[in-house]
Homo-oligomer: A and B are copies of this chain.
């Protein structure tokens, strides 16, 4: 489906382009709807009363706003519709609770999901009884349900991450137990043929250049610079997707 909607991919390895420069999309009468789903990292302070497509305040101050600005600024003739429906604190089952309005009714062509940090964190701090198995089961059920109604959907799954040294991720249990959730997100992406964004390694690579306070002060919520590297990674994943 996306092959019909995107047709041109400009790439060069001669100089270090940011990946968004390599994305170009063909004209489409139908347009293309992109939906971002997740928790506070996706939400990023968006004004939830601005739920219309392509509204700057409604898309938030995080990676979604950055991606949307790039895509809209570079593709005036593509009738893109970009929505953010991340809600702070949410776990997979809470996405499911609001999936009718916040996914099905929007009929996305591309659905990007970043979820899982709260499925672990809220269990850790005693506010949730979930386990990695429940995360896996709920996440797969959500995707099954989505694909039944939207079989042509292109799916992007972003890995939940925690950045070492952040003020909120000091417990040793993050190191011992959180990787199980991350591996499940990757396995789910593989099983459903979704594009996968390996955010954990992206932040670990960034830590070689500057410390956690620059990229993600509490280890969970990215700074502006952290949002930039997330957006860069997301846009890089869009490119191979569209040549499927």
A residues near B (Cβ < 8 Å) are 10, 12, 14-18, 20-21, 44-45, 47, 54-57, 59, 61-62, 65-66, 68-70, 72-74, 76-77, 206, 209-210, 214-215, 223-225, 227-229, 231-232
Contact = CB atoms under 8 A, between A and B. Distances in A.
Name which of A18, A68, A69, A232 has the most chain B CB atoms within 10 A of its CB.
Answer: A69
Contacts of A17: 15, 17, 21
Given A55-B224, A61-B61, A70-B228, 20 more contacts: A10-B15, A12-B15, A14-B15, A15-B17, A16-B21, A18-B74, A21-B21, A56-B61, A56-B62, A56-B223, A56-B224, A61-B65, A69-B225, A69-B228, A73-B225, A73-B227, A74-B228, A76-B209, A76-B225, A77-B209
Contacts of A47: 45
A15 B56 CA distance: 29
A98 to B, nearest CB: 24
Nearest to A211: B76
